[in-house]
Protein backbone atom coordinates (compact mmCIF):
# COMPACT_ATOMS: atom_id res chain seq x y z
CA UNK A 1 0.00 0.00 0.00
CA UNK A 2 1.44 3.33 -1.07
CA UNK A 3 1.79 5.98 1.62
CA UNK A 4 0.62 9.36 0.41
CA UNK A 5 2.64 12.20 1.84
CA UNK A 6 0.77 15.39 2.70
CA UNK A 7 1.36 18.21 0.20
CA UNK A 8 3.95 20.84 1.04
CA UNK A 9 2.55 24.19 2.18
CA UNK A 10 4.19 27.54 2.77
CA UNK A 11 4.53 28.84 6.33
CA UNK A 12 2.50 31.90 5.23
CA UNK A 13 -0.46 29.59 4.54
CA UNK A 14 -0.52 27.26 7.57
CA UNK A 15 -3.67 27.17 9.71
CA UNK A 16 -3.68 29.20 12.90
CA UNK A 17 -2.46 26.98 15.76
CA UNK A 18 -1.70 27.11 19.48
CA UNK A 19 1.87 28.24 18.91
CA UNK A 20 0.67 31.32 16.99
CA UNK A 21 -1.69 32.14 19.85
CA UNK A 22 1.07 31.66 22.45
CA UNK A 23 3.50 34.02 20.73
CA UNK A 24 0.67 36.52 20.17
CA UNK A 25 -0.24 36.39 23.85
CA UNK A 26 3.36 36.88 24.97
CA UNK A 27 3.77 39.74 22.53
CA UNK A 28 0.51 41.38 23.56
CA UNK A 29 1.87 41.53 27.11
CA UNK A 30 4.23 44.34 26.16
CA UNK A 31 1.39 46.40 24.75
CA UNK A 32 -0.73 45.91 27.85
CA UNK A 33 2.21 47.07 29.98
CA UNK A 34 2.84 50.01 27.63
CA UNK A 35 -0.78 51.19 27.85
CA UNK A 36 -0.72 50.65 31.60
CA UNK A 37 2.54 52.56 32.13
CA UNK A 38 1.41 55.51 30.00
CA UNK A 39 -2.07 55.54 31.53
CA UNK A 40 -0.96 55.54 35.17
CA UNK A 41 1.37 58.54 35.12
CA UNK A 42 -1.45 61.11 34.97
CA UNK A 43 -2.97 59.82 38.21
CA UNK A 44 0.44 59.51 39.87
CA UNK A 45 1.21 63.13 39.03
CA UNK A 46 -1.94 64.37 40.80
CA UNK A 47 -0.53 63.05 44.09
CA UNK A 48 3.16 63.64 43.41
CA UNK A 49 2.83 67.28 42.39
CA UNK A 50 1.86 68.71 45.81
CA UNK A 51 4.11 66.25 47.69
CA UNK A 52 7.25 67.00 45.66
CA UNK A 53 6.34 70.51 44.57
CA UNK A 54 6.61 69.59 40.90
CA UNK A 55 6.86 72.50 38.48
CA UNK A 56 5.13 72.53 35.09
CA UNK A 57 8.49 71.61 33.58
CA UNK A 58 8.77 68.42 35.65
CA UNK A 59 5.15 67.48 35.05
CA UNK A 60 5.77 67.68 31.30
CA UNK A 61 9.06 65.80 31.54
CA UNK A 62 7.57 62.98 33.62
CA UNK A 63 4.55 62.78 31.33
CA UNK A 64 6.76 62.29 28.27
CA UNK A 65 9.65 60.34 29.88
CA UNK A 66 8.46 56.83 28.93
CA UNK A 67 7.85 58.04 25.36
CA UNK A 68 11.45 59.31 25.19
CA UNK A 69 12.61 55.86 26.28
CA UNK A 70 10.36 54.24 23.70
CA UNK A 71 12.05 56.34 21.02
CA UNK A 72 15.50 55.17 22.11
CA UNK A 73 14.56 51.51 22.57
CA UNK A 74 12.67 51.22 19.29
CA UNK A 75 15.50 52.80 17.35
CA UNK A 76 18.40 50.77 18.76
CA UNK A 77 17.13 47.47 20.16
CA UNK A 78 15.17 46.70 16.99
CA UNK A 79 18.32 47.22 14.93
CA UNK A 80 20.38 45.08 17.32
CA UNK A 81 17.88 42.22 16.99
CA UNK A 82 18.64 42.04 13.26
CA UNK A 83 22.17 41.03 14.27
CA UNK A 84 21.80 38.92 17.43
CA UNK A 85 18.29 37.52 16.98
CA UNK A 86 14.70 38.33 17.87
CA UNK A 87 14.38 35.99 20.84
CA UNK A 88 17.24 37.51 22.86
CA UNK A 89 15.71 40.99 22.76
CA UNK A 90 12.27 39.42 23.28
CA UNK A 91 13.44 38.35 26.78
CA UNK A 92 15.96 41.11 27.54
CA UNK A 93 13.37 43.86 27.04
CA UNK A 94 11.21 42.47 29.83
CA UNK A 95 14.14 42.21 32.21
CA UNK A 96 14.49 45.98 31.76
CA UNK A 97 10.75 46.57 32.17
CA UNK A 98 10.44 44.42 35.30
CA UNK A 99 13.41 46.05 37.08
CA UNK A 100 12.37 49.56 36.06
CA UNK A 101 8.71 49.33 37.06
CA UNK A 102 9.54 47.75 40.44
CA UNK A 103 12.17 50.39 41.24
CA UNK A 104 9.66 53.25 40.85
CA UNK A 105 8.35 52.53 44.35
CA UNK A 106 11.62 53.74 45.90
CA UNK A 107 12.22 57.03 44.07
CA UNK A 108 12.80 60.20 46.10
CA UNK A 109 13.19 62.89 43.42
CA UNK A 110 11.52 63.66 40.10
CA UNK A 111 14.87 63.18 38.35
CA UNK A 112 15.06 59.59 39.61
CA UNK A 113 11.56 58.85 38.31
CA UNK A 114 12.33 60.57 35.00
CA UNK A 115 15.40 58.38 34.44
CA UNK A 116 13.60 55.21 35.52
CA UNK A 117 10.72 55.81 33.15
CA UNK A 118 13.13 56.41 30.28
CA UNK A 119 14.70 53.05 31.24
CA UNK A 120 11.26 51.39 31.19
CA UNK A 121 10.49 53.03 27.86
CA UNK A 122 13.70 51.64 26.35
CA UNK A 123 12.53 48.13 27.23
CA UNK A 124 9.06 48.78 25.84
CA UNK A 125 10.46 50.32 22.66
CA UNK A 126 12.72 47.35 22.02
CA UNK A 127 9.82 45.01 22.56
CA UNK A 128 7.62 46.96 20.16
CA UNK A 129 10.17 46.43 17.40
CA UNK A 130 10.86 42.78 18.10
CA UNK A 131 7.36 41.76 19.17
CA UNK A 132 5.71 43.09 16.00
CA UNK A 133 8.49 41.54 13.94
CA UNK A 134 8.38 38.08 15.53
CA UNK A 135 4.61 37.84 15.30
CA UNK A 136 4.59 39.06 11.69
CA UNK A 137 7.25 36.50 10.76
CA UNK A 138 5.38 33.48 12.13
CA UNK A 139 1.76 34.48 11.43
CA UNK A 140 -0.18 33.09 8.48
CA UNK A 141 -1.11 35.84 6.05
CA UNK A 142 -4.85 35.13 6.46
CA UNK A 143 -4.74 35.99 10.17
CA UNK A 144 -1.82 38.44 10.26
CA UNK A 145 -4.01 41.54 10.15
CA UNK A 146 -6.09 40.39 13.12
CA UNK A 147 -3.07 39.37 15.20
CA UNK A 148 -1.04 42.50 14.50
CA UNK A 149 -4.05 44.78 14.77
CA UNK A 150 -4.96 43.32 18.15
CA UNK A 151 -1.96 45.12 19.66
CA UNK A 152 -4.04 48.29 19.81
CA UNK A 153 -6.85 46.49 21.65
CA UNK A 154 -4.49 45.13 24.29
CA UNK A 155 -2.80 48.54 24.66
CA UNK A 156 -6.23 50.07 25.24
CA UNK A 157 -7.08 47.51 27.91
CA UNK A 158 -3.83 48.37 29.69
CA UNK A 159 -4.55 52.09 29.49
CA UNK A 160 -8.10 51.61 30.81
CA UNK A 161 -6.91 49.31 33.61
CA UNK A 162 -4.48 52.03 34.75
CA UNK A 163 -7.33 54.56 34.71
CA UNK A 164 -9.58 52.43 36.89
CA UNK A 165 -6.83 51.51 39.34
CA UNK A 166 -5.65 55.11 39.44
CA UNK A 167 -9.15 56.36 40.28
CA UNK A 168 -9.38 53.77 43.06
CA UNK A 169 -5.92 54.11 44.62
CA UNK A 170 -5.64 57.89 44.63
CA UNK A 171 -8.53 58.10 47.12
CA UNK A 172 -7.04 55.56 49.53
CA UNK A 173 -3.63 56.85 50.53
CA UNK A 174 -1.51 59.97 49.76
CA UNK A 175 1.35 57.62 48.83
CA UNK A 176 -0.80 55.36 46.64
CA UNK A 177 1.06 56.66 43.58
CA UNK A 178 4.07 54.54 44.59
CA UNK A 179 1.98 51.35 44.59
CA UNK A 180 0.32 52.39 41.35
CA UNK A 181 3.63 52.87 39.55
CA UNK A 182 5.13 49.67 40.95
CA UNK A 183 2.05 47.55 40.17
CA UNK A 184 3.20 47.03 36.57
CA UNK A 185 6.16 44.95 37.76
CA UNK A 186 4.08 41.88 38.64
CA UNK A 187 2.56 41.26 35.19
CA UNK A 188 5.91 42.21 33.62
CA UNK A 189 7.72 39.54 35.68
CA UNK A 190 5.11 36.90 34.76
CA UNK A 191 5.51 37.72 31.06
CA UNK A 192 9.30 37.50 31.40
CA UNK A 193 9.07 34.00 32.90
CA UNK A 194 6.69 32.82 30.17
CA UNK A 195 8.96 34.16 27.42
CA UNK A 196 11.99 32.16 28.54
CA UNK A 197 12.48 29.24 26.16
CA UNK A 198 10.52 30.65 23.21
CA UNK A 199 12.14 29.72 19.88
CA UNK A 200 13.94 32.04 17.49
CA UNK A 201 12.19 33.33 14.36
CA UNK A 202 12.75 30.77 11.54
CA UNK A 203 12.89 33.59 9.00
CA UNK A 204 15.72 35.28 10.91
CA UNK A 205 17.60 31.98 11.20
CA UNK A 206 17.32 31.38 7.46
CA UNK A 207 18.50 34.92 6.78
CA UNK A 208 21.61 34.03 8.77
CA UNK A 209 22.09 30.79 6.86
CA UNK A 210 21.11 28.58 9.81
CA UNK A 211 18.75 26.47 7.70
CA UNK A 212 18.83 23.33 9.82
CA UNK A 213 17.81 25.18 12.99
CA UNK A 214 15.08 27.03 11.11
CA UNK A 215 13.64 23.84 9.61
CA UNK A 216 13.70 22.11 12.99
CA UNK A 217 11.58 24.91 14.50
CA UNK A 218 9.23 24.91 11.50
CA UNK A 219 8.64 21.16 11.72
CA UNK A 220 8.17 21.26 15.51
CA UNK A 221 5.70 24.13 15.66
CA UNK A 222 4.02 24.17 12.24
CA UNK A 223 4.19 20.66 10.78
CA UNK A 224 6.55 18.32 8.94
CA UNK A 225 5.07 19.28 5.56
CA UNK A 226 5.59 23.04 6.05
CA UNK A 227 8.32 24.80 4.08
CA UNK A 228 9.64 28.34 4.03
CA UNK A 229 10.96 29.93 0.88
CA UNK A 230 12.04 33.50 1.53
CA UNK A 231 14.43 36.12 0.20
CA UNK A 232 17.67 34.94 1.79
CA UNK A 233 20.19 35.34 -0.97
CA UNK A 234 21.61 38.42 0.73
CA UNK A 235 23.11 37.42 4.07
CA UNK A 236 25.37 40.38 4.77
CA UNK A 237 24.50 42.78 7.57
CA UNK A 238 21.95 45.45 6.65
CA UNK A 239 23.02 49.03 7.28
CA UNK A 240 20.69 51.46 9.01
CA UNK A 241 20.98 53.69 5.95
CA UNK A 242 19.38 50.97 3.81
CA UNK A 243 16.04 52.30 5.08
CA UNK A 244 16.69 55.41 2.98
CA UNK A 245 17.91 53.64 -0.15
CA UNK A 246 15.83 54.23 -3.32
CA UNK A 247 14.07 50.88 -2.83
CA UNK A 248 12.91 51.50 0.75
CA UNK A 249 12.89 55.22 1.51
CA UNK A 250 9.28 55.79 0.47
CA UNK A 251 7.93 53.04 2.72
CA UNK A 252 10.25 54.20 5.54
CA UNK A 253 8.95 57.74 5.29
CA UNK A 254 5.33 56.64 4.94
CA UNK A 255 5.40 54.32 7.99
CA UNK A 256 7.19 56.91 10.10
CA UNK A 257 5.04 59.89 9.10
CA UNK A 258 1.61 58.25 9.20
CA UNK A 259 2.53 56.79 12.60
CA UNK A 260 3.58 60.25 13.86
CA UNK A 261 0.46 61.97 12.51
CA UNK A 262 -1.78 59.43 14.22
CA UNK A 263 -0.15 59.21 17.65
CA UNK A 264 0.63 62.89 18.28
CA UNK A 265 -3.09 63.77 18.68
CA UNK A 266 -3.70 60.49 20.55
CA UNK A 267 -1.09 60.98 23.25
CA UNK A 268 -1.35 64.78 23.41
CA UNK A 269 -5.11 64.70 24.00
CA UNK A 270 -5.42 61.64 26.21
CA UNK A 271 -2.43 62.35 28.44
CA UNK A 272 -4.00 65.68 29.44
CA UNK A 273 -7.63 64.63 28.94
CA UNK A 274 -8.97 66.00 32.28
CA UNK A 275 -7.60 69.49 31.56
CA UNK A 276 -8.81 69.43 27.96
CA UNK A 277 -12.33 68.37 28.93
CA UNK A 278 -12.54 71.13 31.53
CA UNK A 279 -11.36 73.78 29.08
CA UNK A 280 -13.89 72.53 26.51
CA UNK A 281 -16.65 72.88 29.11
CA UNK A 282 -17.21 69.13 29.52
CA UNK A 283 -17.27 68.05 33.15
CA UNK A 284 -14.49 65.59 33.87
CA UNK A 285 -15.58 62.89 36.29
CA UNK A 286 -15.36 59.17 36.84
CA UNK A 287 -18.50 58.68 34.73
CA UNK A 288 -17.00 60.71 31.86
CA UNK A 289 -13.79 58.70 32.08
CA UNK A 290 -15.82 55.49 32.15
CA UNK A 291 -17.69 56.49 28.99
CA UNK A 292 -14.54 57.48 27.08
CA UNK A 293 -12.65 54.39 28.22
CA UNK A 294 -15.56 52.21 27.10
CA UNK A 295 -15.51 53.93 23.70
CA UNK A 296 -11.74 53.38 23.44
CA UNK A 297 -12.22 49.64 23.98
CA UNK A 298 -15.15 49.40 21.54
CA UNK A 299 -13.13 51.32 18.96
CA UNK A 300 -10.11 49.05 19.37
CA UNK A 301 -12.29 45.94 18.91
CA UNK A 302 -14.03 47.51 15.93
CA UNK A 303 -10.64 48.25 14.42
CA UNK A 304 -9.82 44.54 14.24
CA UNK A 305 -12.96 43.90 12.19
CA UNK A 306 -12.34 46.87 9.91
CA UNK A 307 -8.68 45.92 9.40
CA UNK A 308 -9.73 42.46 8.29
CA UNK A 309 -12.72 43.62 6.21
CA UNK A 310 -11.47 46.65 4.31
CA UNK A 311 -8.26 47.44 2.50
CA UNK A 312 -5.48 48.69 4.75
CA UNK A 313 -4.97 51.74 2.54
CA UNK A 314 -8.61 52.77 2.37
CA UNK A 315 -9.21 52.30 6.10
CA UNK A 316 -6.24 54.55 6.91
CA UNK A 317 -7.05 57.33 4.42
CA UNK A 318 -10.74 57.70 5.28
CA UNK A 319 -10.03 57.51 9.02
CA UNK A 320 -7.54 60.38 8.80
CA UNK A 321 -10.10 62.47 6.88
CA UNK A 322 -12.86 61.70 9.40
CA UNK A 323 -10.64 62.50 12.39
CA UNK A 324 -9.49 65.80 10.90
CA UNK A 325 -13.11 66.84 10.26
CA UNK A 326 -14.19 65.92 13.81
CA UNK A 327 -11.35 67.77 15.50
CA UNK A 328 -11.77 70.77 13.19
CA UNK A 329 -15.47 71.01 14.08
CA UNK A 330 -14.67 70.68 17.79
CA UNK A 331 -12.43 73.73 17.45
CA UNK A 332 -15.34 75.98 16.41
CA UNK A 333 -18.40 74.64 18.25
CA UNK A 334 -19.41 76.96 21.14
CA UNK A 335 -19.01 75.64 24.68
CA UNK A 336 -22.76 75.86 25.21
CA UNK A 337 -23.33 73.04 22.69
CA UNK A 338 -22.24 70.43 25.23
CA UNK A 339 -24.15 67.50 23.73
CA UNK A 340 -22.84 68.15 20.21
CA UNK A 341 -19.28 68.45 21.53
CA UNK A 342 -19.60 65.23 23.49
CA UNK A 343 -20.96 63.35 20.47
CA UNK A 344 -18.16 64.65 18.24
CA UNK A 345 -15.53 63.82 20.86
CA UNK A 346 -16.99 60.32 21.25
CA UNK A 347 -16.94 59.77 17.46
CA UNK A 348 -13.35 61.06 17.34
CA UNK A 349 -12.35 58.70 20.14
CA UNK A 350 -14.04 55.71 18.51
CA UNK A 351 -12.37 56.13 15.10
CA UNK A 352 -8.98 57.11 16.54
CA UNK A 353 -8.96 53.95 18.65
CA UNK A 354 -10.08 51.82 15.68
CA UNK A 355 -7.55 53.06 13.14
CA UNK A 356 -4.75 52.77 15.70
CA UNK A 357 -4.84 49.03 14.93
CA UNK A 358 -2.95 49.83 11.73
CA UNK A 359 0.18 51.04 13.57
CA UNK A 360 0.88 47.40 14.39
CA UNK A 361 0.07 46.18 10.89
CA UNK A 362 1.55 48.49 8.25
CA UNK A 363 5.20 48.66 9.42
CA UNK A 364 5.48 44.90 9.98
CA UNK A 365 3.99 44.13 6.56
CA UNK A 366 5.96 46.79 4.66
CA UNK A 367 9.50 45.51 5.04
CA UNK A 368 11.19 42.25 3.99
CA UNK A 369 12.67 39.89 6.58
CA UNK A 370 16.23 41.15 6.22
CA UNK A 371 15.26 44.58 7.57
CA UNK A 372 11.83 44.12 9.16
CA UNK A 373 12.91 44.74 12.78
CA UNK A 374 14.98 47.73 11.66
CA UNK A 375 12.06 49.23 9.72
CA UNK A 376 9.48 48.59 12.44
CA UNK A 377 11.86 49.92 15.08
CA UNK A 378 12.59 53.11 13.16
CA UNK A 379 8.91 53.85 12.48
CA UNK A 380 8.01 53.20 16.12
CA UNK A 381 10.88 55.33 17.40
CA UNK A 382 9.88 58.25 15.20
CA UNK A 383 6.28 57.99 16.40
CA UNK A 384 7.34 58.02 20.04
CA UNK A 385 9.67 60.95 19.49
CA UNK A 386 6.79 62.86 17.91
CA UNK A 387 4.49 61.80 20.76
CA UNK A 388 6.99 62.93 23.39
CA UNK A 389 7.38 66.34 21.73
CA UNK A 390 3.64 66.76 21.22
CA UNK A 391 2.80 65.69 24.76
CA UNK A 392 5.42 67.99 26.23
CA UNK A 393 4.36 71.01 24.16
CA UNK A 394 0.56 70.67 24.44
CA UNK A 395 0.18 72.50 27.81
CA UNK A 396 2.46 75.28 26.54
CA UNK A 397 0.48 75.53 23.28
CA UNK A 398 -2.85 75.78 25.12
CA UNK A 399 -1.42 78.45 27.42
CA UNK A 400 0.18 80.43 24.59
CA UNK A 401 -2.33 80.06 21.75
CA UNK A 402 -5.55 78.91 23.40
CA UNK A 403 -7.56 75.72 23.01
CA UNK A 404 -9.02 76.54 19.60
CA UNK A 405 -5.67 77.23 17.93
CA UNK A 406 -4.13 74.16 19.56
CA UNK A 407 -6.94 71.92 18.27
CA UNK A 408 -6.50 73.40 14.81
CA UNK A 409 -2.80 72.57 14.91
CA UNK A 410 -3.68 68.95 15.76
CA UNK A 411 -6.29 69.03 12.97
CA UNK A 412 -3.54 70.08 10.56
CA UNK A 413 -1.42 67.12 11.70
CA UNK A 414 -4.29 64.71 10.99
CA UNK A 415 -4.91 66.32 7.57
CA UNK A 416 -1.21 65.89 6.81
CA UNK A 417 -1.58 62.21 7.68
CA UNK A 418 -4.40 61.91 5.14
CA UNK A 419 -2.30 63.52 2.39
CA UNK A 420 0.72 61.33 3.19
CA UNK A 421 -1.46 58.21 3.09
CA UNK A 422 -3.07 59.17 -0.22
CA UNK A 423 0.36 59.70 -1.77
CA UNK A 424 2.33 56.84 -0.27
CA UNK A 425 0.21 54.22 1.53
CA UNK A 426 0.69 50.78 -0.08
CA UNK A 427 -1.84 47.97 0.02
CA UNK A 428 -0.36 45.12 2.07
CA UNK A 429 -3.47 43.07 2.79
CA UNK A 430 -3.14 39.35 1.90
CA UNK A 431 0.50 39.71 0.85
CA UNK A 432 2.97 37.05 1.89
CA UNK A 433 6.04 38.39 3.66
CA UNK A 434 8.10 37.40 0.63
CA UNK A 435 6.03 39.85 -1.40
CA UNK A 436 6.87 42.65 1.06
CA UNK A 437 9.95 43.26 -1.07
CA UNK A 438 7.79 44.35 -3.99
CA UNK A 439 4.95 46.43 -2.50
CA UNK A 440 4.05 49.67 -4.19
CA UNK A 441 1.38 52.37 -3.98
CA UNK A 442 -1.74 51.33 -5.93
More confident of the two residues 333 and 235: 333
Burial zone of 287 (CB within 10 Å; 0-12 exposed, 13-18 middle, 19+ buried): exposed
Lowest mean pLDDT among 63-72, 387-396, 408-417: 387-396
CA distances to 263, 298, 336, 344, 410 from 340, in Å: 25, 20, 9, 6, 20
Is residue 433's pLDDT more than 60? no
- What pTM was estimated for this model as a whole? 0.75
pLDDT band at 81 (very low <50, low <70, confident <90, very high): confident
For 383, list phi and psi in degrees, rounded to 5: -65, -40
Is residue 232's pLDDT more than 50? no
Lowest mean pLDDT among 10-19, 174-183, 396-405: 396-405
Burial zone of 242 (CB within 10 Å; 0-12 exposed, 13-18 middle, 19+ buried): middle
pLDDT score of 141? 78
pLDDT score of 423? 93
Domain 9-214+238-427 bears CATH identifier 3.40.50.300:
no
Is residue 361's pLDDT more than 90? no
More confident of the two residues 254 and 332: 254
pLDDT score of 112? 94
Distance between CA atoms of residues 167 and 358, nearest Å: 30
What DSSP letter does each residue of 78-143 carry, written as one string?
HHHHHHH-HHHHHHHHHHHHHHHHHHGGG--SHHHHHHHHHHHHHHHHHHHHHHHHHHHHHS-HHH
Is residue 48's pLDDT more than 50? yes
* Average pLDDT in the chain: 82
For 143, list phi and psi in degrees, rounded to 5: -110, 0
Taking residues 284-288, what's their average pLDDT?
A: 60
More confident of the two residues 436 and 113: 113
pLDDT score of 168? 77
pLDDT score of 117? 94
CB 341 within 8 A of CB 291: no
Lowest mean pLDDT among 103-107, 262-266, 381-385, 424-428: 381-385
- Which residues are CB-neighbours of 336 under 8 A, at least 6 positions away? 281
pLDDT band at 403 (very low <50, low <70, confident <90, very high): confident
What are the pLDDT digits (tens) for 293-343? 788 889 888 888 888 888 889 999 999 999 999 999 988 887 667 778 878
Domain assignments of the chain as residue spans, ordered by start: 9-214+238-427
pLDDT band at 53 (very low <50, low <70, confident <90, very high): confident
What DSSP element (H or E) covers 298? helix 286-309
Amino acid sequence: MQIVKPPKIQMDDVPLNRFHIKIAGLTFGAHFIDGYVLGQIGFALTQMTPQMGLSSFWQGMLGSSALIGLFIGSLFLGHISDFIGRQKIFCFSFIIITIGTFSQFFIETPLELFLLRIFIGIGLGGDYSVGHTMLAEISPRKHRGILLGSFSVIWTFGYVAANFLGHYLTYIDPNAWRWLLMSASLPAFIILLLRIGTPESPRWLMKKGRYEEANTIIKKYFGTNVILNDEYSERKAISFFALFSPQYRQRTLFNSLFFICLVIPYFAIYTFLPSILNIMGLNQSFSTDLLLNFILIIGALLGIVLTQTFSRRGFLIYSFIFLAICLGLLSFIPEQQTLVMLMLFAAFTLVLSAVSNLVGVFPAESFPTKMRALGVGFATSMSRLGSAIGTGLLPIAILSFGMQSTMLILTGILASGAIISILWAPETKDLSLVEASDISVP
